[in-house]
Copies of this chain bind each other. A is one copy, B any other.
Amino acid sequence: MSAFFGDIAPIQYEGPDSDNPLAFRHYNPDEVVMGKRMEDHLRFAVCYWHNFAWEGGDPFGGRTFDRPWFGGTMEDARLKADVAFDMFRILGAPYYCFHDVDMRPEGDSFAQSTRNLEAMVDLFAQKQAETGRKLLWGTANMFSDRRWMSGAATNPDPHVFAYAAATVKTCMDATLKLGGENYVLWGGREGYETLLNTDLSQELDHMGRFLNMVVEYKHKIGFEGMILIEPKPQEPSKHQYDYDVATVYGFLKRYGLEDEVRVNIEQGHAILAGHSFEHEIALANALGIFGSIDMNRNDYQSGWDTDQFPNNVPEVALAYYEILRGGGFTTGGTNFDAKLRRQSLDPEDLLIAHIGGMDVCARGLKAAAAMLEDGKLEDARRARYAGWDGEQGLLDTSLDAIFERVVSEGIDPQPRSGRQEALENIVNRYV
């Protein structure tokens, strides 16, 4: 156990009346919601990068955090791992997520970086065994180092494509070894800064082929987790190819991958793309590609990715409502790809931010479940479309046949209230 968090004991559920900042007021892992333990519904994961690797910088300022593990040695990496697993344990989060570069120091060659990774994977495996923590997903960071500045799988330089392929191979191996339940690809540099120097067609084809290789390798090594793409419209690039759920769907269809790959949807990325979070979830469910979520919000009024912890229960409830309507998570879960604000300097802030986020999710989940069990919303939805029950035939005919019917029957449809405010009031009974 590291000294970083002092003698803070594992966070306990104390109920809504507690004013202990280091207690859960709503997240009660064993509480049963719709027949399942809350922990098994939410499947919380803590991310390694923002919590342990990020230094608090922004485009106008450098490091604000002062962590004993900052530095580039294997010893630093091990101390970081000690603190991280300590935090997972204190929070009681069952899962975590990582990038390769979060857990291992960069070596002076690809081979050395790989050896560093393997050594750390061994350590992580041991820590998982000791603490009972599990890996929700692994991923490769192919955007921070300058070698990726013009893309990874979509790079104009084939050597970068190769380096990316080799990197993903090592990260998939690591994920397999750690029993990861998913493998995620976020293509922060798979896009462009300017169309003027970009061959859109080639870049899309290379990205399609790359993803097929990922799927082929998954099967080769017997990885049974799900491959997930995380959509984001832009930032760091001016335009990213995995813009949103609909775009990723078209991409998967184009390259024959719609049965092999799903999406990891982040609230902040949904918003940057002009969508609500619940829209992206509902659409992924409708298209059959829903996988997992990154439950970190964006400030609606900041045009960049603020990656804040969730704090608005009504919004979170609508997201879980769509997740529950779709049957809940299978391999996916609720990852906090969330940054502390860079002024939140203290170790305690790390815990408090997660506690708040987990409580907000727990409230959202319970509200969503109650809305579903109540049934009023779903009854209203069904009633609105009930006219189709006897009219499926309209879908099996032709424009001119329908035309004849409209004219002969004098069809003159009358609008009916959409009752949006009434439905919103129903939601407000639960959130």
A415/B197 in contact, CB under 8 A = no
List, in ascending order, chain B residues with CB within 8 A of A274's CB.
233-234, 273-274, 301
Nearest to A376 among chain B residues (CB) is B19
List, in ascending order, chain B residues with CB within 8 A of A388's CB.
156, 158, 202
A398/B313 in contact, CB under 8 A = no
The quantity of this chain's copies bound in the complex is: 4
Q: How near does chain B come to A173, taking the closest CB pair, in angstroms?
A: 9
Partner of A62, one of B21, B146, B423: B146
B302/A302 in contact, CB under 8 A = no
A159 CB within 8 Å of chain B: yes
User: In the complex, A380 Cα to B346 Cα: how many Å?
Assistant: 15
User: In the complex, A282 Cα to B149 Cα: how many Å?
Assistant: 22
B345/A417 in contact, CB under 8 A = yes
A400/B217 in contact, CB under 8 A = yes
Partner of A418, one of B193, B201, B206, B286: B193
A373 CB within 8 Å of chain B: no
Interface string of A308-329 (1 = CB under 8 A from B): 0101111100100010000000
Interface string of A164-196 (1 = CB under 8 A from B): 011011101000000000000000110001111
- With A196-B420, A243-B246, A283-B200 in contact, do A398 and B149 touch (Cβ < 8 Å)? no
Nearest to A427 among chain B residues (CB) is B196
B149/A428 in contact, CB under 8 A = no
User: In the complex, A352 Cα to B427 Cα: how many Å?
Assistant: 13
Within A239-263, which residues are at the interface with B (CB < 8 Å)?
Answer: 239, 243-244, 246-247, 249-251, 253-254
- With A236-B58, A236-B60, A399-B213 in contact, do A193 and B412 touch (Cβ < 8 Å)? no
A58/B59 in contact, CB under 8 A = yes
A299/B204 in contact, CB under 8 A = no
A160 CB within 8 Å of chain B: yes
Within A277-315, which residues are at the interface with B (CB < 8 Å)?
Answer: 278-279, 282-283, 285-287, 299-305, 309, 311-315
A429 CB within 8 Å of chain B: yes
A407 CB within 8 Å of chain B: yes
Within A377-431, which residues are at the interface with B (CB < 8 Å)?
Answer: 377, 380-381, 384-385, 387-388, 391, 394-395, 397-400, 402-403, 405-407, 410-429, 431
Partner of A159, one of B172, B341, B411: B411
List, in ascending order, chain B residues with CB within 8 A of A157's CB.
387, 413, 416
List, in ascending order, chain B residues with CB within 8 A of A249's CB.
250, 254
Interface string of A329-366 (1 = CB under 8 A from B): 00000000000111111101100110110011000000
